[in-house]
Structure 1
Amino acid sequence: MPCRPAVAAQLDLLRTRGANNLWVAGFPSSSSSSSRRDLLRLVPPVRCSVDVLAPTVGTVTEVDIDTFWPLVKGAGDKIVVLDMYTQWCGPCKIIAPRFKELSEKNLDVVFLKLDCNEKNKPLAKELGIKAVPTFKIFKGGEVVKEVRGAKFDDLVLAIETTKQS
């Protein structure tokens, strides 16, 4: 999970000032080092990642022009299935729950959704979308299969054949 800006700023502050110049939970830096260390043992560590996007399996992840390629590249050797849709598309709405079910059944595959709105239009154009819904299947960061239309059986077959290749 990415750090919030405030947390990232605090981490930077800790790195630049060093522990001797900070107040730790109400103890000024003049307090004994052992009392500060004892107090810090009670505080759970904060863990977060900065600028790391990792795809999630077992769910459908909504992507946009900024997050799509980092997630595809972050998937590594996993197969990535992208559902390109629009808010106004009837067939897109009908197949969406079935696409979600596929994500829950195929835990070795990453499922993404891209709303082909104005913001994401350049990415949709780059991916060569001609109709919605369109499903693109990626392996190793490259498109290997495409299914146009709300053809669920064709999508399942495309995923299965990609897994076997």
Structure 2
Amino acid sequence: MAVLNLNVSLPPKHPMRWVASRISSPLHTLVMPRASRLPRVSSPLTLTVRSSFESASVTVGQVTEVTKDTFWPIVRAAGDKTVVLDMYTQWCGPCKVMAPKFQELSEKYLDVVFLKLDCNQENKPLAKELGIRVVPTFKFLKDGKVVKEVTGAKFDDVVFAIESVRSS
């Protein structure tokens, strides 16, 4: 579910009464000023709409869980930084073995963005788009493009791939 954040810019010194009203989807509530209480101004109100997945953020030294909605915005925001994506499932034994090692790598390489994607039913479209056939699969992205891939729980190969993509 996307969260809608609305910012309304109004001239100062005009007290407003706000009422909640529904918009097209029952999942979203829009807070609007009551029309009878709007001050008369020469310039129109400015309304900025931003969905929560566009503002998804990562923490340096941590592995960030992504979804089909947050993955590409984070990759775009990373710019020319190296992005490493760990694609796993909850039931995968080798994935569970690699998880703490992947966390250690995120603490070591602070200039690299580390993401993980649970390849469950909800994220299946993204997994399919990225061509996942085996878990764990590690995708290495630079400038928004996949440049390397490691399949299986091959820690040394993941480290080598990080080093080579960082230096390119």
Give the structure-1-normalised TM-score: 0.74
Q: Which residue does 1:159 correspond to in 2?
A: 162
How far off its partner does 1:17 sit?
Answer: 6.6
Structure number with the higher strand fraction is 2
Q: Deviations over 1:16-67 (max 9, x none)?
A: 47432259xxxxxxxxxxxxxxxxxxxxxxxxx9742333321000000000
1:147 aligns with 2:150: yes
Q: 71, 79, 83: which is aligned to 2:82?
A: 79
1:20 aligns with 2:14: yes
Say what the alpha-carbon RMSD is for the aligned residues: 2.0
Structure number with the higher helix fraction is 1
SS at match of 1:150: coil
Q: Retained in 2: the 8 A contact 1:55–1:75?
A: no
How far off its partner does 1:113 sit?
Answer: 0.2
SS at match of 2:55: coil
Q: 100, 105, 118: which is aligned to 1:102?
A: 105
Residue identity in the other structure for 2:154: K
Matches within 5 A, 1:119-134: 119-134=122-137
| Unmatched runs of 5 consecutive residues or more in structure 2 | 18-50
1:112 aligns with 2:115: yes
Residue identity in the other structure for 1:58: G
Spell out structure 1 runs of 4+ moving beyond 4 A.
none
Distance 1:65 1:107 in 2: 24
State the structure with more CA Rg.
1
Q: Which residue does 2:37 correspond to in 1?
A: none
